[in-house]
Structure 1
């Protein structure tokens, strides 16, 4: 985590209502957006072995949380957006379910050579994606799902590099 990420997470820890989530939320920060993902208590389902019933109960609990906390979350988001000049998105984990609420879809420019464009065009032609942009988004999600631990290790290493750089001598 960078100093900015740490200060944003710290501010949110102090500003969020104590009863909003069970425990401290996860705070993700990039150049455009702050995403706050908290955990809420899962519902008690009488037939705990029925996976579809449990998923539906969790979805219902998430929907109830979203509506019941909208005012509180919007107030915090307005303050954070003004303070940190980034949009704020919210997410919730409930049991085995999770959902992100209104979060940004930011355009990203990239240059691809013909073999990479052909991959995207194949996904579009096969109906997997509606456009090259959707196909590229699908590819990024797929890579992210299959390389989570590697990406976590890489982020951790980058954080360590930041720490070492910050502890080095200053040149005045």
Structure 2
């Protein structure tokens, strides 16, 4: 699936004025995640951090409820067209809230030293289960190697583009 084509389809299909801007569209084998930017609420200059955070939380909740029907209609169309579930979220100020997510099982084979790491995280209370611990590890790697993962993603996109222009493409 071409992310640019998907982003274009969403831009054309989403209701006008749904949000200020389409922030991000990401795709994997199971899910399309669509994130839009909404305006920050006005908060008095003397407001506390807790009040500011609560105001942003309220704005996000209001947006989620008000736009639910429109977003679900687009999601149904996109799921039929692209064969993946659609998840939604918003950026409001420096807060990102994702409303729905696909939690996809991933099978893996781990040797004892790797299982011991997961078991330690569970025993220490960092994670509730091996599955939770593995997710925690993936998020940690993602957080600490973002630049490398971005470079890898960009390289893979280039490979896909070159592959799509190859001579075997016409025969398919």
TM over 0.5: yes
| Structure 1 Cα separation of the partners of residues 46 and 74 of structure 2 | 35
Q: Are 1:107 and 2:105 counterparts?
A: yes
2:129 and 2:22 mapped to 1: Cα distance?
38
**Distance of 2:46 and 2:115 partners within structure 1:** 47
4+ residue runs over 3 A deviation: 168-172
* Distance across 1 between alignment mates of 2:152 and 2:20: 29
Aligned to 1:89: 87
CA shift in 2, pair 1:128/1:68, >3 Å: same
Residue in 1 aligned with 2:7? 9
What is the alpha-carbon distance in structure 2 between the residues aligned to residue 145 and residue 47 of structure 1? 33
Deviation at 1:97, TM superposition (A): 0.7
TM-score (norm 2): 0.92
Deviation at 1:25, TM superposition (A): 3.6
Deviations 1:5-24 (A, max 9, x none): 22222211110012011123
Alignment of 1:33 with 2:35, yes or no, is: no
1:63 lines up with 2:44 in the alignment: no
Task: Give the one of 17, 32, 40 matched to 1:42.
Answer: 40
Task: Tell me: CA distance 1:145–1:49, structure 2 relative to 1, closer, same or farther (3 Å).
Answer: farther
Separation in 2 of the partners of 1:96 and 1:44? 14
State which of 126, 129, 154 in structure 2 corresponds to 1:128: 126
Return the alpha-carbon distance in structure 2 between the equivalents of residues 80 and 169 of structure 1.
Answer: 30
Superposed, 1:137-156 pairs within 5 Å as: 137-156=135-154
Q: Partner of 1:74 in structure 2?
A: 72
Q: Which runs of 5 or more structure 1 residues have no equivalent in the other structure?
A: none
SS of the residue aligned with 1:69?
helix
Question: What stretches of structure 2 of length at least 5 have no aligned partner?
Answer: none
1:70 and 1:24 map into 2 onto residues whose CA distance is 16
> For the Cα contact (< 8 Å) 1:48–1:54, is it kept in 2?
no
